[in-house]
C-alpha cells in the first residue's frame, strides 16, 4: 500500500444492515415509525415540563434536558439509517461522516454526564428532602446541565480530531449504518499508541467516571434509605429512582458493551444490533420510562389533553 492511498479517502460507503431490497423496505418503515414516535415522545415530554408549573422542579429540569438530548441524539442517526435503507446511493462524504461522528459522540458523552447529575439530584432529594429545593438551586441545576454539555462536546472534539487524522488505507467501506468508532478504527492503517491512549482517556473520562459517580450516588442513597425506619417510607423514597435506574441500565449496558472492549474483539455484525438499541430505541424508551412510571407526568398530560378539548 503506497502513501498515496493513505490520503485519498474522500467519502465512505455505509453498508447498512442488509442488501435485500425487500428487507430494506421493511426496515425503512420500522425505523421511520420508531423515529417519529421518538420525536413525538420527547417533544411531548419537554412541552409538558415547560407548560406545567408542578413540573418546574430540579428532577424534571434534568428529565427535560435528557429528552432534549434524546431528541437530537435520534436525529443524528435516524435520517442516515433511513437513507441507507431506501436509497441505492449509500455514500457519505468525509465531512458528513466527521460531522455525524462529532455530534453523536458529543451528545452521547453529554448524556453520560447528565445521567450522573440526575443521580446526584436523587441523592439530595432522598438524603435531605426538607432542604431539597435550596440544595438543588436553579443556578446549580443549570450549572450541572451546562457542565454536562460542555464536557461532552470538549471530549467529542478531542476524539473526533484524533480519529479523522488517522490514515485510511484506501478502503472506504463502513460495515455499519453510521460513522461509528469501531468500524472507522477497522479502516485505519496507522493505529499509533498515542491514539490508543486517547481512546482510553475518552473511555475513562466520559463513561467510567460518570458511571462511578452514579454508583457512588446510589451507595449514599442506600445509606440514606437505611436511616428511614418504615419499609413503606423506604420503598416510596426509592421509587423516585426507579425510572433513572432503568434509563442508566439500558444506556450504560449497551454503551459499555460496544466501547469497553479492545478493538481486536469488535464483531461488527453483532455490534450493529446493539448500536441500533442505544442510538434509535433508547431515545424512544426514555420518555416512556419517565412518563408511564410517573404520576406527575401522567397528570400533566391529562390536564394538557383536557385543555385541548376546549380549544
What pLDDT, on a 0 to 100 scale, did the predictor assign at position 259?
A: 64
Taking a C-beta distance cutoff of 8 angstroms, is the pair 93, 54 a contact? no
CB atoms within 10 A of CB 198: 17
The mean pLDDT value for 193-201 works out to: 81
Average the pLDDT over each of 153-157, 228-232, 267-271, 278-282 and give the range with the smallest value: 267-271
The pLDDT tens digits of the residues spanning 246-301 come to 888 888 887 777 666 555 555 556 667 777 887 888 888 888 888 776 777 888 87
- Please check the confidence at residue 2 and state whether its pLDDT lies above 60: no
pLDDT tops 80 at residue 121? yes
Structural domains of the chain sorted by starting position, each given as residue range(s) with its CATH number in brackets: 3-309 (1.20.1070.10)
- Tell me, rounded to whole angstroms, the distance of Cα 185 from its chain centroid: 21
Find, among 98, 229, 115, the residue nearest to 164 by Cα: 98
pLDDT of residue 40: 93
- Closest to 149 measured CA to CA, from 115, 109, 119, 118: 109
pTM of the full structure? 0.88
DSSP state letters, 177-234? SS--HHHHHHHBS---HHHHHHHHHHHIIIIIHHHHHHHHHHHHHHHHHHT---HHHH
Cell of 11: 467519502
Mean pLDDT of the chain: 84
Number of neighbouring beta carbons within 10 Å of residue 216: 14
Q: How crowded is residue 222: how many other Cβ atoms within 10 Å of its Cβ?
A: 13
Work out the end-to-end distance of the chain between its first and last CA atoms, rounded to an integer number of angstroms: 68
Least confident of 151-160, 191-200, 214-223, 264-273: 264-273
Total Cβ atoms within 10 A of residue 307: 10
d(C-alpha 267, C-alpha 264), whole Å: 9
**Which pLDDT value is given to residue 273?**
74
Quick one: pLDDT at residue 3?
46
Amino acid at each position: 500500500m503506497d502513501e498515496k492511498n493513505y490520503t485519498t479517502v474522500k467519502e465512505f460507503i455505509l453498508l447498512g444492515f442488509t442488501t435485500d431490497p425487500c428487507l430494506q423496505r421493511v426496515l425503512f418503515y420500522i425505523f421511520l415509525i420508531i423515529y417519529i414516535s421518538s420525536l413525538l415522545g420527547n417533544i411531548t415530554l419537554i412541552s409538558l415540563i415547560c407548560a406545567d408549573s408542578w413540573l418546574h422542579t430540579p428532577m424534571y429540569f434534568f428529565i427535560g434536558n435528557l429528552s432534549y438530548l434524546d431528541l437530537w441524539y435520534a436525529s443524528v442517526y435516524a435520517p442516515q439509517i433511513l437513507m441507507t435503507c431506501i436509497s441505492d446511493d449509500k455514500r457519505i462524504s468525509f465531512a458528513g461522516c466527521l460531522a455525524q461522528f462529532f455530534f453523536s459522540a458529543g451528545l452521547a458523552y453529554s448524556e453520560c454526564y447528565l445521567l450522573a447529575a440526575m443521580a446526584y439530584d436523587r441523592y439530595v432529594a432522598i438524603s435531605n428532602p426538607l432542604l431539597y429545593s435550596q440544595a438543588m438551586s436553579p443556578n446549580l441545576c443549570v450549572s450541572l446541565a451546562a457542565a454536562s454539555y460542555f464536557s461532552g462536546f470538549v471530549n467529542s472534539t478531542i476524539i473526533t480530531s484524533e480519529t479523522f487524522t488517522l490514515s485510511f488505507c484506501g478502503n472506504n467501506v463502513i460495515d455499519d449504518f453510521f460513522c461509528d468508532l469501531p468500524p472507522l478504527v477497522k479502516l485505519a492503517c496507522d493505529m499509533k499508541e498515542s491514539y490508543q491512549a486517547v481512546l482510553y482517556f475518552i473511555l475513562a473520562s466520559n463513561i467510567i467516571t460518570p458511571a462511578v459517580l452514579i454508583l457512588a450516588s446510589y451507595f449514599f442513597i442506600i445509606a440514606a434509605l437505611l436511616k428511614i425506619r418504615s419499609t413503606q417510607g423506604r420503598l416510596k423514597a426509592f421509587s423516585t429512582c426507579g425510572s433513572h435506574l432503568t434509563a442508566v441500565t439500558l444506556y450504560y449496558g449497551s454503551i459499555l458493551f460496544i466501547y469497553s472492549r479492545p478493538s481486536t474483539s469488535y464483531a461488527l455484525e453483532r455490534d450493529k444490533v446493539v448500536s441500533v438499541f442505544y442510538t434509535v430505541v433508547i431515545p424512544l424508551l426514555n420518555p416512556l420510562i419517565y412518563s408511564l412510571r410517573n404520576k406527575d407526568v401522567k397528570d400533566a398530560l391529562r390536564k394538557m389533553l383536557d385543555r385541548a378539548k376546549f380549544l
